């Protein structure tokens, strides 16, 4: 959220994650914790790639 790569992530009662990348973007449904970990890995990769380009 700090790097503006994710606006919100909410765990639904059924174990799915509701994710929104920007304020006005559509909400995506992630099926369970594995999908959330995959999203976190993707965000980390973007952060590292951005850092390497600015150094």
pLDDT < 50 positions in the chain: 1
Tokens of 28: 């995506």
Q: How far is CA 27 from the centre of its chain?
A: 11
State the DSSP code for 3.
Answer: T
Residue 6's pLDDT is what?
Answer: 81
Q: Do 17 and 36 meet the contact criterion of CB atoms below 8 Å apart?
A: yes
The torsion region of residue 20 among left (phi > 0), alpha (psi -120 to 50) and beta comes to beta
Tell me the percentage of the chain whose pLDDT exceeds 90: 40
The neighbouring-strand residues paired with 30 are: 17
């Amino acid at each position: 959220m700090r790097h503006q790569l994710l606006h919100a992530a909410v765990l639904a009662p059924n174990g799915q994650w509701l994710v929104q990348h920007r304020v006005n973007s559509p909400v995506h449904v992630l099926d369970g914790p594995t999908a959330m970990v995959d999203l976190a890995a993707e965000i980390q990769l973007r952060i590292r790639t951005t850092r390497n380009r600015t150094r």
